[in-house]
Structure 1
Amino acid sequence: MKFLKMFQRERNSPERDAAAAAAVSSLYEHGYAHLPGVLSAKECDAICADFTRYVAKHRQEADKHVMGTGRHSRLTNMHLKSNRARAAIAKPVVMKALDAFFGDRAFVATSLFFEQSSEQALHRDTPFFHTRPHNMFAGIWFALEDVHAEAGPLQYYPGGHLIEIESIQATGTDQLGEAFNHYIGRVAEEVHKRGIKPEIALIKKGDCFIWHPELPHVSPALLI
């Protein structure tokens, strides 16, 4: 019951409706949407505190996932252990935008908590998630601290979600890596051919960033 209550939708307001509508329009046109101030600083700090407590409680296992920077690698599905994370996911302006984008009621499939940049090269999320109908998902990021250029922030290619890439066939699991690399190579080729310049998501603590499943994006290496 606590889980269901935490995901109960709050009543809409004209301001939320307008923000959600603008977010959906931006998702279709540009491939992303920026919603400022969705979480308060107190809410952000509380989610981080939940992560710290979870690590302390599971210290032996957590220590296996400490990287060279001293930070931990990503934690999957923290929202299943943190009421505060679940509350963040259910923010009305975010859910309303997603409901409109999908044309159906949105739900959470999975979540990741990052202490630092994932340091991933240019890619799309579509090879990692399969839905029926196709592409019925989106990436959602809540910044729990101010984002700085040296921290390897998300870089994205506006409009790149509109680039159509031919399907790459893999007839066996041994061909998946090659097929993936070929597909991502084609995405990068088309992005550069069209002269699409990356933008950097230097968003603020409490902001929410939503991206289209086919938006090309990068998570650069840390400089700090």
Structure 2
Amino acid sequence: MDSIGKADWIASQPWIDREGADMEPYLRKYSSSCAFDLKEKLTDWKRDGIVIFEQVVDTRLIDALLGDIDHLRKHHMDFDLLAELKGRQGHIRDFLPAELESDGVKFNSIHTISRAAARLSLTREVAQFLGVIFDDAPCATQSLTFYKGSQQPIHIDYPYVRTQTKLAYLAASWVPLQDIHPDSGPLAYYPGSHNVDVSDFFDWGGGSILLESDSDKTPGQFAEYLYARMKEQGVAPRVFCPRKGDVLIWHGNLAHEGTAIRDAALTRKSYVTHYTSLAAYPPAHLKPGAPHSGVIAAENGGYVFEHSWQSDLRQLPSSSIPA
């Protein structure tokens, strides 16, 4: 397969990232249907590559998701889901109970079996804002849960998260499931790094800007490149210590990291969702008839779909919550 390069990213950019982008047509089209000051948030996004909404997330859904995660740990043999622990990925039923109690375990795409997670992914302000950015319905493609701070080195999502048919149609939301303490290893992001003039493009080998199985470079080298690039561009990290009920949305080209955990006793429970647009959603992941069928949740103009390979999945307790 031909390598995906810088030109492919540039050609696939949403309207707001294109040179000479004009907000006015989109403000006229969407402002009246948004529950926030759209111009202010688009300005933040254009400048920083992030937007923050305070106290907009339904904390009852957060509590329901925490209950689902606890249930999943205790009854993991009853569910079909992928999990990850220290870089090892596998089906949840292949992990030992003690491993699933580890503070480093992550559950992948829990939104397909947890209605609370699916609805958190479609929080009103998140779905409305991304609907404007994509000029299309936002769709959740994957999700991750975190119990402790990840301490993950600086990185950008798109070299790894790239099933969308338009590469640059990518964004993420980060929902704290508790108040985040500064000693718990909070998330940090590099404001403005989403701009390609700041981040430029890392060559994984052969001109490819994506990590492939045969890439010449490693994620560690990618991190070294980004640290050097941020220093060269004079971009300092900004630490995010939100309260339960807040949400951060970041651009698919934004550099971010997990900071060091200074107090090992502290948790940093959080929930991350990656999104693309309906038009860029990978067709092979959709069931026949989507978006009119195979839908887990459709709220606030956005979608969470059943994956095409899933059938009759057992649902976690929050799935009794009415839409």
Shorter-chain TM-score range = 0.7 to 0.9
> Which deviates more from structure 2 when the two are superposed, residues 96-105 or residues 122-131?
122-131
- Of 212, 215, 220, 2:251 maps to 212
Q: Which residue of 2 aligns with 1:198?
A: 237
Q: Which residue of 1 aligns with 2:54?
A: 36
Per the alignment, do residues 49 and 89 of structure 1 end up closer, same or farther by CA in structure 2, a change over 3 Å counting?
A: same
The alpha-carbon deviation at position 103 of structure 1 amounts to 1.9
Alignment of 1:112-151 (within 5 A): 112-130=144-162, 131-151=164-184
The answer to whether the 8 A contact 1:30-1:159 is kept is yes
3-state secondary structure, aligned to 2:139? coil
Name the TM-score, length of structure 1 as normaliser. 0.83
Quote the sequence identity (%).
Answer: 22
Q: Distance in 1 between matches of 2:151 and 2:157?
A: 15
Cα RMSD after superposing both structures: 2.6
Q: Distance in 2 between matches of 1:195 and 1:49?
A: 42
Structure 1 or 2: more strand by fraction: 2
Q: Deviations over 1:21-71 (max 9, x none)?
A: 53333222111111111223332212101110111111773625347xx42
The alpha-carbon deviation at position 132 of structure 1 amounts to 3.3
3-state secondary structure, aligned to 2:174? strand
Structure 2 residue runs without a partner (length 5+): 1-29, 78-92, 264-323
One-letter amino acid matched to 1:216? A
Q: Which residue of 2 aligns with 1:6?
A: none
Q: Which residue of 2 aligns with 1:8?
A: none
Name the TM-score, length of structure 2 as normaliser. 0.59
Q: Distance in 2 between matches of 1:29 and 1:196?
A: 13
> Which deviates more from structure 2 when the two are superposed, residues 41-50 or residues 160-169?
160-169
> Which deviates more from structure 2 when the two are superposed, residues 38-47 or residues 25-34?
38-47
One-letter amino acid matched to 2:97? D
Per the alignment, do residues 118 and 50 of structure 1 end up closer, same or farther by CA in structure 2, a change over 3 Å counting?
A: same
Structure 1 or 2: more helix by fraction: 1
One-letter amino acid matched to 1:197? A
Please state if 1:185 is matched with 2:219: no
> Which deviates more from structure 2 when the two are superposed, residues 21-30 or residues 190-199?
21-30
3-state secondary structure, aligned to 1:100? helix
Alignment of 1:97-112 (within 5 A): 97-112=129-144
3-state secondary structure, aligned to 1:161? coil
- Of 190, 196, 221, 1:157 maps to 190
Q: How many residues align?
A: 211
3-state secondary structure, aligned to 1:45? helix
Q: Deviations over 1:108-163 (max 9, x none)?
A: 10001111112101111121122432311111111110011111000111111111
Structure 1 residue runs without a partner (length 5+): 1-11
